[in-house]
Chain A
Amino acid sequence: NAGVTQTPKFRVLKTGQSMTLLCAQDMNHEYMYWYRQDPGMGLRLIHYSVGEGTTAKGEVPDGYNVSRLKKQNFLLGLESAAPSQTSVYFCASSYTPLGGGYTGELFFGEGSRLTVL
């Protein structure tokens, strides 16, 4: 069982370049999330999706776009990369939504390390 798979795992970009991170889950989860992890700041939610065809902004959405055209995939795009977007990006999925009655179990991918020069 693959769980949550992220590609690519490593990428180096120049300022202004664009790229897309792909997240795929095989657990039939409704909910998917993109986080970024920076030293001393924990994980911060960028965007999330509560189902196929839906997306919503998280805590730090500026400079990113997302799409959820298929239930199993959640794409994170950077249209014009900036050095401030150098980070480790994590995708996660869950059965139930964040909030009331929430079981709390997010399933995470292994992360994608992005460096913007």
Chain B
Amino acid sequence: GNSVTQMEGPVTLSEEAFLTINCTYTATGYPSLFWYVQYPGEGLQLLLKATKADDKGSNKGFEATYRKETTSFHLEKGSVQVSDSAVYFCALGNQGGKLIFGQGTELSVKP
């Protein structure tokens, strides 16, 4: 079946450090891939997406590239800020009709 696996958190970084959050997936067909972010006390919101292989999604300094050969969609940011502290969810959507979320990775950025 379809599934999404994220690196376990929490991840703690200093401000301006480089961020990578790993995400790999298992899916039939050609899924779309997403990163959602959940700030403290809020609901999830879409951060970026990629709908086909080799696409790069980007937003707010975050990037992720859809790698079909490695079935991965890792989230990266070159220089994190305290305001990036949140929980990040990788998700997969396909023609099966469901959006499947990973377990979430908590990021804490210290000044």
Contacts and interface: CB of A to CB of B under 8 A. Distances in A.
A90 B41 contact: no
Given A40-B103, A99-B97, A106-B99, A90 B89 contact: no
Contacts of A107: 45
A104 B45 contact: no
Interface in B34-54: 34, 36, 41-46, 49, 51
A62 interface: no
A65 B51 CA distance: 33
Contacts of A90: 43-44
Contact of A42 (B45, B93, B98, B102): B102
A97 B97 contact: yes
A103 B41 CA distance: 25
Interface of A: 4, 40-45, 58-59, 90, 92, 97-100, 102-111
A41 B6 CA distance: 11
Nearest to A41: B103
B96 A99 contact: yes
B34 A99 contact: no
Contacts of B97: 97-99
Contact of B42 (A58, A99, A110): A110
Interface string B1-45: 000100000000000000000000000000010101000011111
Given A42-B4, A45-B98, 5 more contacts: A41-B103, A45-B99, A102-B93, A108-B44, A110-B43
Interface hub of A4, A43, A44, A109 (most chain B Cβ within 10 A) = A43
B95 interface: yes
B43 to A, nearest CB: 3
A104 B35 CA distance: 10
A106 B103 contact: no
Contact of A105 (B46, B95, B103, B104): B46
Contacts of B51: 104
